[in-house]
Chain A
Amino acid sequence: MRITRRKTAALVVSAVLAGSLAACSPGGGGSTGSGTVTVYAAASLKKTFTELAAKFEAAHPGTKVTLNFAGSSDLVTQITQGAPADVFASADSKNMTKLSDASLVDGDPVDFATNVLEIAVPPANPASISSFADLAKPGVKVVVCAPQVPCGAATEKVEKASGITLKPVSEESSVADVLGKVTSGEADAGLVYVTDVKTAGDKVKGITFPESGQAANTYPIATVENSKNKELAKAFIELVTGSEGRKVLGDAGFGAP
């Protein structure tokens, strides 16, 4: 009871604080304005966008970047249901198109990164995987994303282009679930993005394969139509698409658009 009350109090306090911050925002000087910019970004952008947000706040004193990471289609649902986003960065063009179709995109989306698939195996590589074709060998437990999600759509494209059909033991709903099955040693191999392998560090071993080029995912970014702070939203997009953004994204394994 006491804990709940304290929690409620904390919520109220933070809500009031957030409100007063928002109230302070208009009227600040500077060419790009100040205040809060809320960025909805695909889960795979977590590391890079967190870094870029810090850079943005440092370069624009008085501004605050609020980040919300989730699967791209979840984010589209949230924004169409009225969530207060200023910027949307999607992991594929399909979900950006969904948002444009709902007339919720201001101007044209800009492509800012690409991502390709990579094979992730447990560090010891128990099934001795060295190529995409190895994944189709009998007895190999391979886990992929379901075709309904972007990484699964990319997997399907690679299968079609290479003529190799995989028989996965599981089709997961997210890259994180695929990685989880690999890091826990349940699966012999999983198909995830290059950037995910990099983020996972030495918990998995990455194996690149030439066929992945057939299915590069493009990441578009755009200002949301209902944004209350379009100036700042555009400034953030400039940072992401500019040289500084390029460097951070490149370091994380993203390709140039």
Chain B
Amino acid sequence: MKQFLKMAVESLLHRKLRSWLTMIGIFIGITALISIVSLGEGLEVAITEEFSELGNDKLWLAPGTSAFGASASAANLTDRDRKVADSVPGITETVGMTWKNTKIISQDEEEVALVSGYTLDEGANLWDEMFGHMLFSGRWHKSGDTFKAVVGYDYTQNDGIFERGLKLFDKIDIDGQSFKIIGIMEKQGNDQDDQSIYITDDAYSKVFNVRLEDDYKYIVAKTAAGADPNEIAERLKRAIRNDRDLDEGDEDFTIQTTEEIMDSFGTILQIVQVVIAGIAAISLLVGGVGIMNTMYTSVLERTKEIGIMKAIGAKNSDILLLFLIESGMLGLLGGGIGVITGLGVAKATEFFGKNVLGIELLRAYWSWPLILGALAFAFFVGMISGVFPARQASKQQAVDSLRYE
């Protein structure tokens, strides 16, 4: 076996250019596969981390039947629902929030930004728990802070949102009302967070002339320590259903645990990954056909060699094995180079995302199962592609092959 491996390597080296060209198909396929899976896994890890910072003990209550985008017929989520939630045993605190795109002005420069309002009352602790650690400087609101704002990281950068970056205690005009900046968020690495502005429910209602408590986009509820969030979620569901006089199954609201949200993100990511990996697999298939072609050529070229080996005692199985190892090696080598470049591409994307696009969610992630799996797969593709040519080689008659010139 060891000797056969050595012979396969010698043979591949002997036809260097053709070996390289043959490997390209596998190499591209594995590069694509590895970089996509690596970035996908990295994104999943990043999202998981972000959600787990929010805490697994949270319930997310939203209007409509899907957490992503409320349906039109959905009843608003109001203070009444929040009170129901507060009364559910096992829920310790709640906070309501909503957001809106609006016009902002700093030093005569006008922009549009996402302004979020949240309830600053008993729920202030919960808000602080979830977002307190995300502050870069300054503080979150305390009671009595009406026209004060916490802004995302991009506002502090020159040419971030405005030409001149803002500092703590600078003024910013939101929809005609002047706000003082009291807190700056850390860089989160995604535009939505880094370009957000946060104000209190009080200010939100005054500026936009609406009652925040009549139309929450989310109510976040914290469950008691040690309690099972899923169980509390069921309880909350029942309580709101009863309050709204709805039958089971007719809910016009959605409750998700942090874990469920993470899972649904994970599922979407997986689907995307599978689709792209499928495209990469086509490249691998093409690579496999390339290997098959090369191996057929090689069998033909080496007819005489096969005859010689058979004359001096090679069994059919020896010839079969020899050619299979060779095609497997083509796959494995192509795969090996593909793994390295794939990780390189993923790393480069991460670097580009972070430094040029400012997206921190793009992270290259790698694991041994991913790398070994890719190598094994490449080897397998090579072997399978070699089966027919190798069988053809092994079945040649010594006496005919020897005569071949």
Do these two chains interact? no
Q: Show the binding face of B for A, using Cβ within 8 Å.
A: none
